[in-house]
Structure 1
Amino acid sequence: MKLNIAICDDERAEIDYLLQLAGQWADARGIAAAFTTYESAESFLFHYADRPNAELVLLDVQMGHLSGIELAKQIRRDNDSMQIVFITGYPDFMGEGYEVSALHYLMKPVKAEKLFEVLDRAQARLQTVPRTLLLPRGGGSIRIKADDIVYAEVLSHTTTLHLTTGTEDFQMRLSDMERALGEGFIRCHRSYLVSMRYVRRVTRTAVVLENGRELPLSRDLYDAVNQAFIQYN
């Protein structure tokens, strides 16, 4: 399992401390965690607009112009699955966490055992919440459940997501879509990405889906796709 964790605090020393503790937790649990750090709420929002892949955020309540509470409210406008853990030196703000469905408040200085306990809870919740993707389109964005995506196909500059409910088109490269889709999807051809969830079998030349459709499988990608299929099942 891979877990994308963001840490947002306006004190670099606090970021480094949380980064160290969260890294120890990930190592102890055998989790491949990817960390991103931000020294302001504005910086988080700027990067989140392009790559909204954080699944858990350790968020300082009191920061400069934009507080952690206000940042959490903006996150919740289009993301109800991200696990938000507030970090604060003052208990007065705890009531506001209910508005944004915060998982927990941790008081500074954060103790390792308390953080580990909260991260365990966050991981457990994420395993039961369907993963959703926020993908850019037409100057805005669209949210799609990862489990609804069967495969992606590129033609010219348009990447089409074939869903269980229809199709959605995006003006983006397949390599960018591959990064956005992340875990559970694999490239089987220069023009196709496929969800391992819907793969019934793999031959030397094709990936056969549950609905019987066959996607081409490049010879140089066979080993990686076949291994992913074996491990998934």
Structure 2
Amino acid sequence: MEKSRDIRGKYLVTTDPEEKFFLSAQQRCTFVWENTGNGLQISHIHISNPIGELKIAEDEAFPDTMGKMASHYMKEEILRLTSDRKLSVCDVNGSLMFLQLSDVMFISALGKETVVRTLTDCIFAKNSIKELAQQTQDCFVMTHRSYLVNPQYITAIRRYAITMQDGTELPVPRKKYDEIRRQILSV
């Protein structure tokens, strides 16, 4: 049985499009995953910054302030993305269901009802897409007036269509393509 595994990569950090300034920098990161009784869990995160971008704080012998800030940010993002937030859905039979937000691929409007799609299930709900959008506002992207999409499950985006992990293709309006693409890339 494998005890731990390192996963290394690079990512691009940019400021929020709403900010009045722009900053972009590439960082390297390493995640060490350990196989525990509860499955794989992250046991260590290391983030490296290019030396030219490191900030040395007063009385600091080694430039690690920026690294600590980046590590804190990354841990907060992982917590946000893997939290136990739930989506409450009233199915067509009147049962109230609680779904992990991280398990939902997308939500689509179907007349007055909605369809909540996970990798393994399709739930017909009485909730309007507007009600479900309020519950998913900081995690999902409204790619069309009839679709709320979880960016974690997007495998491709091209002009006027998004491909989901299960192969489903969802439309993207021509007039909003650039805006929606930016939203997806910033989540």
Q: TM-score, normalised by structure 2?
A: 0.52
**2-structure distance, mates of 1:158, 1:124:** 32
Query: Which residue in the other structure is 2:90 paired with?
Result: 136
The structure whose residues are more often strand, as a share, is 2
Identity %: 24
How much has 1:135 moved relative to structure 2?
2.6
Alpha-carbon spacing, 1:129–1:172, altered in 2? closer, same or farther (3 Å): closer
**2-structure distance, mates of 1:145, 1:180:** 12
Q: Deviations over 1:207-233 (max 9, x none)?
A: 11123321011123212220122223x
**2-structure distance, mates of 1:218, 1:195:** 17
Query: Which residue in the other structure is 1:178 paired with?
Result: 133
**2-structure distance, mates of 1:229, 1:124:** 15
What is the Cα-based RMSD across aligned positions, in Å?
2.4
Q: Could you list the runs of 5+ residues in structure 1 that have no partner in the other structure?
A: 1-122
Q: Deviations over 1:53-112 (max 9, x none)?
A: xxxxxxxxxxxxxxxxxxxxxxxxxxxxxxxxxxxxxxxxxxxxxxxxxxxxxxxxxxxx
Q: Does residue 163 of structure 1 match 2:125?
A: no
The structure whose residues are more often helix, as a share, is 1
Alpha-carbon spacing, 1:136–1:209, altered in 2? closer, same or farther (3 Å): same
How much has 1:140 moved relative to structure 2?
4.9
**2-structure distance, mates of 1:125, 1:222:** 27
Deviates more, 1:165-174 or 1:129-138: 129-138
Q: Does residue 205 of structure 1 match 2:160?
A: yes
Q: Deviations over 1:101-145 (max 9, x none)?
A: xxxxxxxxxxxxxxxxxxxxxx79954633222233455521100
Q: Deviations over 1:125-181 (max 9, x none)?
A: 954633222233455521100111111111111100011121111112212221122
How much has 1:194 moved relative to structure 2?
1.0
Q: State the AA in 2 paired with 1:154.
A: A
Identify the match of residue 151 of structure 2 among 184, 196, 199: 196
Query: Which residue in the other structure is 1:11 paired with?
Result: none
Alpha-carbon spacing, 1:139–1:166, altered in 2? closer, same or farther (3 Å): closer
